[in-house]
Amino acid sequence: MQSSKPVKNKHVSPPELLLPELLSNLGLGDLHGGKLKLSSVLGINSNTVTEKPADSLEQLPWTFLRKLMMANLNARNIKHDQSMNDCSHPIDDSNAINPLDLITALFHCSDPFLQQEMVSKMSMCQFAVPLLLPNCDTQQSTLMLWAMRDLVKKFRPHSQTGDRTFVEGRVVEMDIPMVSFVRLGESSLSKSQTLNKLFSNPHQHNDTFVHCDMECGDIPRRISDGLVEVSWYLPCGNTNIDMFKESVAIVNMRGDGKLFKTQMSFLLQTSAAVFIFSDDLKGDLSTLIESRAELFLVTSKTFNKETIRDICMKHKVKETNVIIKKKKNDADFVKKLRFHVSKAIGKNQIKMKVEDMAAVAQRIGIVVDEDCTECTNGRTDAKGITGIIQNVVKFKKDHLPLHGEIWKEISQIEKERCRMRHADKDIEGYQSSLKTKEEELRKEQQEKAFSEAMVKFTAGISESGTQRLYFLKWLKIQLDNLSRHNLSTLREQYKDCCRNTPQNKEEIKHLDEQISNCSLGPEHFFRELAQIYECACSLPENNSARQQVQHLPALCAQMLLDGFPVELVDGDASNIPMKWIKEVLTQLHQLVDTKSKILVLTVLGVQSTGKSTLLNTMFGVQFAVSSGRCTRGAFMLLIKVSEELRSELKCDFIMVIDTEGLKSPELATLDTSYEHDNELATLVIGLSDITIINIAMENSTEMKDILQIVVHAFLRMKEVGKKPRCLFVHQNVSDMSAYDNNMRDRKKLMEQLDEMTRAVAKMEKKVANAKFTDVMDYDPDKDSYYIPGLWHGTPPMAPVNAGYSEAVYELKKTLIDSLQTSDNIMNNNATEFLKWTQGLWNAVKFENFIFNFRNSLVADAYTDLCTQYNTWEWSFQSEMNNWLICKETMVSNFGVTEKNDQINLLRARLNEWLNEALKKLREEEQTILSNLDKYFKKKDSRVRLLQKYTQDFRTSANSLRKQTEMSIKHSLEKAVEIREGLEKVNRIKDKQMETIEKKVSELLKECRETKADLSEDALTREFKDMWDEIMSELSGVTMPEINVYQDVHHLLRADLSAKSGHVSEMLNTVNLISSGQEQFIVQSDWFSNWTSYATRVVSDVKNPKIQEICDGIIRHCNSLISDHISAMKRNNTGYHETYIRELLKAVDDQVKDHQISDECEASLKVHVCGRAARLFQKAHKEFNDRNDPQNRLMEFKPIFLKNFLESFSEQDQCQKRAKQFTETCVKPAVEDYVSKHLGDEIAEHMKMGDKGVNYSTRTDFQYTLLKQLLHEDSFQNYKEYTKSYETFMKNWIQQEIIKEMSSAGKMARLEEKHLSIIVETIITTIDSCSKTVDIKAFVEEFWSGLTSQLVIPRDASSMFLILSNIKTDQFAINLKEFIREMEVNLAQGYANKTGISHITERITHLPSKPHELLFIRLCGCGEQCPFCGTPCEAGGQDHKTHFSSMHRSKAFARGYWDASEKLVLDICTTLVISDKGFSDSKTSGEWHPYKQYREIYPDWEIAGDPSMQVSDYWKYVLKEYNEEFAKWAGSEPADIPPAWKELKQTDAEIGMKKSFNMGSYKSQAD
């Protein structure tokens, strides 16, 4: 029973070595002297959630600390594996340790802040805490005043029960009488056991003091003799429960008092009573002489009366104060003791605050832990601030003005700028005035910045490490003390009011405000600091006030690293000081060397349901725990993850976010509380990887409300592509088998959640979500936790429920586990986390969250995907293009080298090719799709944000395939048709050629046989005779004539047949021949009110722009016509009716977007077709003339003659022939080949090259285009741009190409590249042809070797073969020489033609035009904003929603007001958040609110934007050219708001960068 006895005998080693030795046994050797820090205890490491019991002495301290930090009642049970055998008979002392030794050792190692935390947690567990900490080596005791400083207790003494009020205060500052228990000499009574019984009521036993019956309690103490422990008994006001009616501090000294004279003397001077346990009353008790306290003697020995009287006399002890334990039973004894203690404290003798004991301590040589310079300085500094405070409300007004009303007003303005709830008619002006107002408020802040208190505060936190910590703690302590009194009264009133008159909302609101006004803590100073920083940010960089605050964010970041909670959202103002937070997080990122990956854990729930307590227990952290609300908002706190766990948890820190003041039930129906709660919840859920929903009261309405908020937030998250994990924690569950009992409840909760999901989904118009599990990752069985009540018994004397701590531990384990395994983790580092915060908060500020969630992360990711997709699309297209060129060439060559009847097989081949195309297209599509799949499978958290676009891009690939399929089919069929038409002509020619050849051969034979010596003249004459004869025979054969006009008329009639009678009537009167000659003028009676483009675009404006549209269409058709005509020339083809069909379709395509009247459309078609007919007729005549057999033959007459003569003279003309062949046959084909490939090549070059123009995505292109416009600064440009975006863009691209191509012979290089490719192919073909056949066969083989590359000039080739008998092998050699020569000549030709005019000419006549190719890639879907006409920028061909980054004023669509005739300023991005309405043809002239524009234009997504920066570009342009645009629109200039007037070119550029999300931009509002 007696624990100190063996210690004395065991003092074998010299005393001064005891502490270091024990510390090194415990593995704490290095930490002696307060080197152990709180943050190193709290970090997450592999032991955090281990199941393994400690198996060595070294692990004991950590196990103890870990459990203590979780307020685990079993923390002191510290047996480890080897000491487990039998505690009462330790075999080897060195293997076990007394809990008191462990505690003493740890206090020696801990720094002052950890000591405080240990004391707090020990006190929560109702463990006694050290009052005097001994050092057994130096005999120096320390008064642990600082360590106890933070203990706040609340109780109700019986003397005050009347008014039902609590006493709440800091224990060390309260007048609580102290009763000490010491042993002098020997005593057989167990003092600690007795004290524990003294404390506990019969129903509940607490082991306040470590005693020998506890685990390892009987291991001899080695360093903790002389330890003086204290614990407080505090009544709860209930007579049946309270052991003492008034509060009392019970002090227990360890060891023999005779050996620890200093401690004894301290106790005798500070205690109200001292109870001496001793069996040796006759011995030396001289230490008692100086006692101020009332003395009691407690013994178990029986003395006779005289002895007792003697002793009492000698030591001034009343005889009644001698307590002798006679019976074995303790109950009476304890009762007697309790009686004496009560009596002693009832006398009100000595009540000394622990604080005041410091003086006593100093006098007798006891060190006080607060007596260090850092601590006293910190205290003085804090006092410098709190000393100013007379009245909290006034102080806040005078010294912390920035974060009060001004900040609230700024926050409201920020939101109003997003929501435009109070906009009047002039909405841009309203926006502008809001901005000005905000700037004024910021100015006002600047003037007020840095009050006396804030100067002192800034100085305080700028101190070095420890002193800063002391300063902040002191500040908190002093502020708490200041506001405690006010607050606790107010809170009581508040509770009363809620309980008794909950209907009196006004009163409750008033009290709530008062509470809010009266509360003052360091967090208010930090709020102020944030505001000082924010308003300084709007000053110029070199301003001294601004520089003065530059270092503050880094300080705050350091505090985060030190484990302080930092406010993220100010819930009172319902806003985030974004610039401040941004800088803090940026600094944090740098402080940890960019190793700042964060996992985020959040807790949400009704206020005062133990959320903070839960987090504090779980992580040992220090979120404010309060019994009523002080502030609202969200605090973040960082917990370090140890190195060894970083890769496993995939993070460096765990960020815990605690929310405060959410859903204070009584306020719900008042003001904007619900909205604020919603915003806060959306933000924190959006930020978190795991969300804990804390539920402390089943089925209450408050819980329902909170769930609704939560479901709302989750639904929104789902919409933006995030599905966070969610756990439900049910608190205050009575017993641990609750899990099963709660099956029913769980089902009910699930039903409620589902119901709520449906309701919320309806609100957000996302009806597809029918179940809670649709919106989030939640398994009701796995993800529900049950935690018993926090207190075991009635506070304040109740310790923490062991079950509570254990359940929280289980939860913690699951959390860490699921962090390890979950793949929904975002893996953000501090800067990415910041981006999320910015994006989320920005979106939250709008009413329409989902449409506005395009934060920069999403935009980044989207751009990346577009870039990727475009390269896949490009390779798809160029693959198919090459395939098509190849097949077209084969069609042109079909049958040329074979027998004539082969042509009949062409149709069959066409089908084969089309099938081949289908297969190839499928393959190519599959490639894109699998690329997409691969892309989306990437384990990149950003890719997840793009999930909702997956289908868009898949559809795009699909429609790309379909479109290409159509166009390939069309092209091939056209090629076949042309080929067939040509064949007809060729048949005729062939026949004649045959005739001629036969005739010439006959003549030749005849001449050779009969007139052997004919002169050349004679031969020529013979030939002429024969020729004339043939010609007369052939005179009947002509080319078929086509009446194009007739054809066109027919087609037009068919096309317009569906239109009204009036239209066909009109057709009857029309004369095609004269149509299309004059300029096309729109007649005013062609359109009605609601069918004009103008009214569709701008409802309030009447200026028709039909003329312009028609002009555009005509331009487009004209270019189609001239394309066809040059193709007819190039391919030597005649007119075909498909040309006209194509034109009609082109008109249809363009007209359909603009709702043009039938009459207008018909006239337009007549106009276009009339012109086309005329031109095609002419072209067809040229074709006929060119191909007229007689004409053709006449062309060949000299060649025939020459051949005839040469053959006759049988000269070896091999060389000549080879040259001729090269010139007339190969060269044109080669030139054609180069031209065919050049377009693609140029486009590719533009795309790949580094031009300063970015063609990789639509957005990139738009960006460069607009930037260039800005720099060129010309009204004409802007006019063209806004007038016809397409035309402008095409021209622009063409100009860019020409510019690029004409520089440094770039085009020639591209031409030469293809030239040399084909020349090499030709040479190889020649080499591979057999040289042993006759020349005709050789040429046939040659051509068929090139059939897929070169279009064979059929005529020339066959002509060449007539009558030749040259040697094949020689010919091949010569041919190669000439082809090389040709290559050089052609290259030379290319190189010479570098002038801009040449290049322009060449490019416009290429069969596939590079600017067209690029345009198709960049023009996108071609949709324009229904309001302002800005083009869509979405990627892919086929997306569900169109969007644009830069909307502009309606003025750019030449809109002006009916009444004032002034240009319309309003910008789509402002309109859609305003309360305005619009009316147009789609609404049939009805007014429709802009906010719901999606009901009318469901496929447009216009994100609201109040920053006024994004549209700065167009604002600037309008401001610059207001007059010009007005003139153009025929209206008055717009009234430019003052804020616009200040815009500069650089602002326009910044705005543009911002909207296109181009890299980093720095600006004031950033």
Nearest residue (CB) to ligand GDP, 248 versus 615: 615
Among positions 85, 627, 904, 1392, the unique one binding ligand GDP when judged by CB under 6 A: 627
Among positions 1442, 1454, 1476, 1553, the unique one binding Zn ion when judged by CB under 5 A: 1442
Smallest distance from Zn ion to CB 1237, Å: 31
CA nearest 585: which of 331, 769, 817, 833? 833
Which tokens go with 302? Answer: 């029986």
Measure the CA–CA gap between 611 and 625, rounded to whole angstroms: 9
Among positions 178, 267, 750, 1421, the unique one binding Zn ion when judged by CB under 5 A: 1421
Among positions 38, 790, 932, 1352, the unique one binding ligand GDP when judged by CB under 6 A: 790
Q: Which of ligand GDP, Mg ion, Zn ion, none sits in contact with 1434, Cβ below 5 to 8 A by type? A: Zn ion
Measure the CA–CA gap between 813 and 526, rounded to whole angstroms: 33
Q: Which residue is nearest to Mg ion (CB)?
A: 612
634 forms beta bridges with: 569, 659
625 binds ligand GDP per the rule CB under 6 A:
yes
Give the other-Cβ count within 10 Å of 937's Cβ: 9
607 binds ligand GDP per the rule CB under 6 A:
yes
Measure the CA–CA gap between 762 and 943, rounded to whole angstroms: 28
791 binds ligand GDP per the rule CB under 6 A:
yes
Give the other-Cβ count within 10 Å of 445's Cβ: 21
1447 binds Zn ion per the rule CB under 5 A:
yes
Torsion sign over Cα 436, 438, 439, 440: positive
Stretch that binds Zn ion, among 382-390, 468-476, 1120-1128, 1414-1422 (CB under 5 A): 1414-1422
Q: For residues 17 and 137, is the Cβ–Cβ distance under 8 A?
A: yes
115 binds Mg ion per the rule CB under 5 A:
no
Q: For residues 189 and 325, is the Cβ–Cβ distance under 8 A?
A: yes
Nearest residue (CB) to Mg ion, 523 versus 660: 660
Helix ranges (DSSP H) in 26-143: 38-42, 60-69, 99-109, 112-124
Q: Which residue is nearest to ligand GDP (CB)?
A: 610
Smallest distance from ligand GDP to CB 639, Å: 18
Site string for Zn ion, 42-61 (x = CB under 5 A): --------------------
Smallest distance from Mg ion to CB 623, Å: 6
1434 binds Zn ion per the rule CB under 5 A:
yes
Q: For residues 54 and 96, is the Cβ–Cβ distance under 8 A?
A: no
156 binds ligand GDP per the rule CB under 6 A:
no
Burial (Cβ within 10 Å: 0-12, 13-18, ≥19) of residue 327? exposed
Helix ranges (DSSP H) in 1222-1305: 1227-1248, 1258-1272, 1275-1283, 1285-1301
Please, which residues have CB within 8 angstroms of residue 755's CB and are 6 or more apart in sequence? Answer: none
Nearest residue (CB) to Zn ion, 295 versus 1471: 1471
Nearest residue (CB) to Zn ion, 1146 versus 1419: 1419
Overall residue count recorded for the chain in this entry: 1566
1427 binds Zn ion per the rule CB under 5 A:
yes
Among positions 110, 608, 992, 1131, the unique one binding ligand GDP when judged by CB under 6 A: 608
Nearest residue (CB) to Zn ion, 1293 versus 1428: 1428
Stretch that binds ligand GDP, among 327-335, 678-686, 756-764, 784-792 (CB under 6 A): 784-792
612 binds Mg ion per the rule CB under 5 A:
yes
Smallest distance from ligand GDP to CB 613, Å: 3
Among positions 126, 575, 613, 1445, the unique one binding ligand GDP when judged by CB under 6 A: 613
Which tokens go with 300? Answer: 């178990």
Burial (Cβ within 10 Å: 0-12, 13-18, ≥19) of residue 1250? exposed
**φ, ψ dihedrals at 828, nearest 5°:** -85, 145
Nearest residue (CB) to Mg ion, 635 versus 786: 635
Footprint on residues 712-731 left by ligand GDP (CB under 6 A): 731
Q: For residues 495 and 626, is the Cβ–Cβ distance under 8 A?
A: no
Q: For residues 855 and 835, is the Cβ–Cβ distance under 8 A?
A: yes
Measure the CA–CA gap between 359 and 347, rounded to whole angstroms: 24
Stretch that binds Zn ion, among 24-32, 1162-1170, 1461-1469, 1482-1490 (CB under 5 A): 1461-1469
Nearest residue (CB) to ligand GDP, 24 versus 204: 204
Measure the CA–CA gap between 779 and 1341, rounded to whole angstroms: 74
Nearest residue (CB) to Zn ion, 353 versus 1096: 1096
Give the other-Cβ count within 10 Å of 51's Cβ: 5
Q: How many residues bind ligand GDP (CB under 6 A)?
A: 16
Smallest distance from ligand GDP to CB 611, Å: 3
Q: For residues 1417 and 870, is the Cβ–Cβ distance under 8 A?
A: yes
CA nearest 776: which of 655, 691, 840, 855? 691
626 binds ligand GDP per the rule CB under 6 A:
yes
Nearest residue (CB) to Mg ion, 265 versus 609: 609
Nearest residue (CB) to ligand GDP, 214 versus 680: 680
Q: For residues 118 and 68, is the Cβ–Cβ distance under 8 A?
A: yes
DSSP state, 575?
B
Site string for Mg ion, 651-670 (x = CB under 5 A): ---------x----------
Measure the CA–CA gap between 529 and 1152, rounded to whole angstroms: 60
Q: Which of Zn ion, Mg ion, ligand GDP, none sits in contact with 1447, Cβ below 5 to 8 A by type? A: Zn ion
Q: Which of Mg ion, Zn ion, ligand GDP, none sits in contact with 607, Cβ below 5 to 8 A by type? A: ligand GDP
Q: Which of ligand GDP, Zn ion, Mg ion, none sits in contact with 610, Cβ below 5 to 8 A by type? A: ligand GDP
Measure the CA–CA gap between 909 and 906, rounded to whole angstroms: 5
Q: Which of Mg ion, ligand GDP, Zn ion, none sits in contact with 1428, Cβ below 5 to 8 A by type? A: Zn ion
* Helix (H), strand (E) counts: the chain: 61, 22
Nearest residue (CB) to Mg ion, 582 versus 629: 629
DSSP state, 1079?
-
Nearest residue (CB) to ligand GDP, 624 versus 929: 624
Footprint on residues 59-78 left by ligand GDP (CB under 6 A): none
Q: For residues 294 and 274, is the Cβ–Cβ distance under 8 A?
A: yes
Please, which residues have CB within 8 angstroms of residue 843's CB and are 6 or more apart in sequence? Answer: 720, 849, 850, 852, 853, 855
Measure the CA–CA gap between 603 and 634, rounded to whole angstroms: 10
Smallest distance from ligand GDP to CB 70, Å: 14
Please, which residues have CB within 8 angstroms of residue 1093's CB and are 6 or more apart in sequence? Answer: 1104, 1105, 1106, 1109, 1154, 1155, 1156
Among positions 177, 404, 610, 1551, the unique one binding ligand GDP when judged by CB under 6 A: 610
Q: For residues 797 and 126, is the Cβ–Cβ distance under 8 A?
A: yes
789 binds ligand GDP per the rule CB under 6 A:
yes
1425 binds Zn ion per the rule CB under 5 A:
yes
Q: Which of Mg ion, Zn ion, ligand GDP, none sits in contact with 791, Cβ below 5 to 8 A by type? A: ligand GDP
Q: For residues 137 and 216, is the Cβ–Cβ distance under 8 A?
A: no
Q: Which of Zn ion, Mg ion, ligand GDP, none sits in contact with 1423, Cβ below 5 to 8 A by type? A: Zn ion
Q: Which of Zn ion, ligand GDP, Mg ion, none sits in contact with 608, Cβ below 5 to 8 A by type? A: ligand GDP
Measure the CA–CA gap between 84 and 215, rounded to whole angstroms: 9
Smallest distance from ligand GDP to CB 481, Å: 18
Smallest distance from ligand GDP to CB 659, Å: 8
| List of residues contacting ligand GDP (CB under 6 A) | 605, 607-613, 625-627, 731-732, 789-791
| List of residues contacting Mg ion (CB under 5 A) | 612, 660
| List of residues contacting Zn ion (CB under 5 A) | 1421, 1423, 1425, 1427-1428, 1430, 1432, 1434, 1442, 1447, 1468
